[in-house]
Amino acid sequence: MKVSIYKLLGFLLFFSFYHCQAWPRYEFVVKEAPYTRLCSTKNILTVNCQFPGPTLNVNRGDTIVVDVYNRGNYNITIHWHGVKQPRNPWSDGPKYITHTWLRATVHGALIIYPKIGTTYPFPKPDVEIPIILGEWRKEDIMQVYLDLERYAGLGVLSDAYLINGQPGDLYPCSKPVKAILVDNLFFAIANHTVMMVGSDASYLKPFNRTFICLTPCQTVDILLEANQSPNHYYMAASVYTTVLPGSYNNSTTTAIVEYNGNYTPSSPPVFPYLPEYNETEASINFAPSFRSLADKEHPIDVPMEINTHLFYTLSLGSPCKNNSCPGVYGTNLPDFPQLFFHFTADYLPMEWEIPQLGTEGRVLDYNSTVELVFQATNLIKGADHGMHLYGHSFYVVGLGLWNFDKDKDPLTYNLVDPPLQNTIHVPRNGWMAIRFKANNPGVWHMHCHIDQHMVWGMGTAFIVKDGESPEAKMLPPPPDMPPC
């Protein structure tokens, strides 16, 4: 799984293929390769033996072809966040077809530059650097996953966090780096504010921050102005969590930003301020600043008339162990919880911690306009969640802490310039309201991107029906689609 922050800068003309008619073509060979981190070596699954995987640089509107050869031991699918798959739900990465834990090492950045002849809605950057925050476990990643599924335990803690595949010099056996799986991370660069200009492949109205907080697989575009005195500065990331010390890895990953020129760098480099692991305020004051550009060149299309209201609670509970959930799938996911209780109360009855097990999805008519409120609950002390929907990006129209109030909170919705996202951080004991138009036929997985939560069952699917016209119908499956 990946969390990537990339700065979209510069305009690179890599591709001579604009001169010929052929589409740019890339080859991804997925296979194992030995990698050493933290003094020990293990085989990990990689793309082209690279970890993180290769970066693809494309322009908006390009058609590219990626040939993927699987030389690994598991069946996989490859999927890109932020890229629409119109009418094509066949590369969706559901469980039993792909193993999401393999994302721990099979991930990379796709950088989309503006259409040729157009430019950014912000100052054109001089250089561009993808930064991928990740995690490292010394144990084999599939073993971690299988244990989690069999015993429904907590899983092993990460042994390190990574910036572009390296833990950084605060860890043993690690060199300074020049330049996720399960945790929310704070990230900062010493003495520099960063300007947020995009998230999940959509532009934002710029705003500045001295640190940011990302949920697994969230992507942001930040501009860094190199306006400080020439020196060496650490960039660093550490965990934000609501669990107790000892239940997470409190280590910090680093890389170093080096200015060019003749100077004597401070030793050690200047270290940034990162909030404490449990500073909820710091983790949630980020998302409310996200606003779409919502101007003539970058219009928004937020549904104003809603015909499908959904309210999904997010709770930790007792999952299906050893694939013991009944049935294949059904279409009876309730639109509302059977019981409305004080979701975020300090103490909740133990018996509510045991959920009904099921494999239910929700059917949506083509073009339905959906409002979905995620309400985090405090069952088993609650947790933060990183909700992700395939097939559709959605507008985040509202968010808050504590119980959603159906009478008051909708009055505070941002319907003017809400951000367009595909992965969102629903804070512990908070709620988030999203809107989208179900105009992409297919079966689309929706799940928490914190992988333990997903293994514990925090996921469902939207089954979006075909529309009337041929352009509103699902494409046929690929010929090599595995049978049921």
Binding footprint of ligand NAG on the chain (CB under 6 A): 38, 74-75, 150-151, 157, 159-160, 171, 191, 193, 195, 206-208, 225, 228-229, 231, 245-246, 249-251, 266, 270, 276, 278-279, 321-322, 366-367, 439, 467-468, 482
Which of the choices ligand NAG, Cu ion, none does residue 263 contact, using the CB cut-off of 5 to 8 A by kind? none
> Residue 169 region, left (φ>0) first, then alpha (ψ -120 to 50), else beta?
alpha
Residue 359 contact, options ligand NAG, Cu ion, none, Cβ 5-8 Å cut-off depending on partner type: none
Distance CA(473)–CA(442), nearest Å, equals 9
Q: Which is nearer to ligand NAG, 382 or 398 (CB)?
A: 382
How far apart are CB 48 and ligand NAG at their closest, in Å? 21
CA dihedral sign of residues 443, 448, 453, 458 = negative
Binds 229, which of Cu ion, ligand NAG, none (CB < 5 to 8 A, cut-off by type)?
ligand NAG
* Partner from Cu ion, ligand NAG, none contacting 106, C-beta within 5 to 8 A by type: none
* Shortest distance in whole angstroms from residue 349 CB to Cu ion: 21
Q: Which two tokens stand for residue 229?
A: 């005195």
Find the residue with minimal CB distance to ligand NAG: 482
- Minimum CB distance to Cu ion smaller for 144 or for 450: 450
User: What 3-state DSSP class applies to 392?
Assistant: coil
From the list ligand NAG, Cu ion, none, partner contacted by residue 450 (C-beta under 5 to 8 A by kind) = Cu ion
For residue 22, CA distances in Å to 15, 61, 67, 270, 383 come to 11, 15, 14, 48, 48
CB of 169 to ligand NAG, least distance (A): 12
Residue 113: both structure tokens together? 């530059």
Q: What does the alpha-carbon distance between residue 5 and residue 198 come to, in Å, rounded to a whole number?
A: 10
Q: Determine, following the binding rule CB under 5 A, whether residue 450 of this chain makes contact with Cu ion.
A: yes
Q: If contact means CB under 5 to 8 A according to the sort of partner, which of ligand NAG, Cu ion, none does residue 448 touch?
A: Cu ion
Task: Name residues contacting Cu ion, limited to 351-390 (CB under 5 A).
Answer: 385
Q: How far is CA 194 from CA 208, 220, 276, 312, 413, in A?
A: 6, 11, 20, 34, 27
Q: Are the CB atoms for 429 and 378 separated by under 8 Å?
A: yes
41 interface partner picked from ligand NAG, Cu ion, none, CB below 5 to 8 A per type: none
Binding string, 395-434, against Cu ion, x = CB under 5 A? Answer: ----------------------------------------
d(Cα 435, Cα 413) in Å, to the nearest integer? 11
Q: Choose the one of Cu ion, ligand NAG, none that binds residue 159, judging by a C-beta under 5 to 8 angstroms depending on kind.
A: ligand NAG
Name the binder of 55 from Cu ion, ligand NAG, none, CB < 5-8 A by kind: none
d(CA 38, CA 81): 30
d(CA 158, CA 182): 9
The residue among 157 and 345 lying less far from ligand NAG, judged by its C-beta, is 157
Would you say 112 or 181 has its CB closer to ligand NAG? 181
Binding test (CB under 5 A) with Cu ion, winner from 376, 448, 461, 474: 448
Q: With CB cut-offs between 5 and 8 Å by kind, which of Cu ion, ligand NAG, none does residue 482 bind? A: ligand NAG
| Residue matched to tokens 């639109």 | 335
Decide if 394 contacts 435 (C-beta within 8 A): yes
CB of 301 to Cu ion, least distance (A): 28
Instruction: Measure CA 380 to chain center.
Output: 24
For the CB of residue 386, give the shortest distance to Cu ion in the complex, in Å.
6
Taking the least distance from each CB to Cu ion, the nearer of 300 and 325 is 325
- Count CB-CB contacts under 10 A for residue 27: 12
**Which one of the spans 160-168, 370-378, 438-446, 447-455 is the region binding Cu ion (CB under 5 A)?**
447-455
CB of 328 to Cu ion, least distance (A): 24
In this complex, which beta carbon is closest to ligand NAG, that of residue 12 or of residue 226? 226
Q: Would you say 375 and 343 are in contact if contact means Cβ atoms under 8 Å apart?
A: yes
Q: Which of 92, 164, 453, 462 binds Cu ion (CB under 5 A)?
A: 453
Q: Do 396 and 388 form a contact (C-beta atoms < 8 A)? A: no
Give the Å distances, CA to CA, from 423 to 287, 392, 432, 434: 11, 11, 12, 11
DSSP assignment string, 250-284: ---EEEEEE--SS----SSPBPPP---TT-HHHHH
Q: To the nearest whole angstrom, how small is the minimum distance from the Cβ of residue 195 to Cu ion?
A: 29
81 belongs to the binding site for Cu ion (CB under 5 A): no
DSSP-derived secondary structure letter, 356: P
DSSP string for 44-82? EEEETTBSS-PPEEEETT---EEEEEE-SSS------TT
Question: Of ligand NAG, Cu ion, none, which one does residue 453 interact with (CB within 5 to 8 Å by kind)?
Answer: Cu ion
Closer CB to ligand NAG, 268 or 334, in the complex? 268
- Give residues in contact with Cu ion (CB under 5 A): 385, 448, 450, 453
